[in-house]
Amino acid sequence: EAGDVAGARRLLPRLCGRDPEALDADALARAVVESVAENTSDAVVGALVWGAVAGVPGLAGFRAVNTLDAMVGHKSPRLRRFG
């Protein structure tokens, strides 16, 4: 619903790792647009490019790297010593 900042704050963590409490309405909207654009790039555009360039092996490699990035590509206390 338009103007529902509290609802946007509640739902934002499903989309990205930002702290929604620190964001105003404009920053919440920006976070949503940036996350949707990044997810589209990761899930659709990257897959199409690697599939077209290198076929199934390229697509499999892209998905493997993309999945690893999602799992360990972000700083966290648990993985800090890992790199």
Q: Which pLDDT tens digit goes with each residue over 34-61?
A: 999 988 988 899 999 999 999 999 999 9
How many beta carbons lie within 10 A of that of residue 72, not counting itself? 13
| 83 pLDDT more than 70 | no
| 66 pLDDT more than 70 | yes
| 76 pLDDT more than 70 | yes
In the structure, what pLDDT confidence band is assigned to residue 2 with cuts at 50, 70 and 90?
Answer: confident
Q: Are 9 and 25 in contact (CB under 8 A)?
A: no
> What is residue 82's DSSP assignment?
G
Domain extent, residue 23, equals 5-82
What is the value of pTM for the model shown? Answer: 0.67
- Count of domains for the chain: 1
Round the CA-based radius of gyration of the chain to a whole number and report it.
16
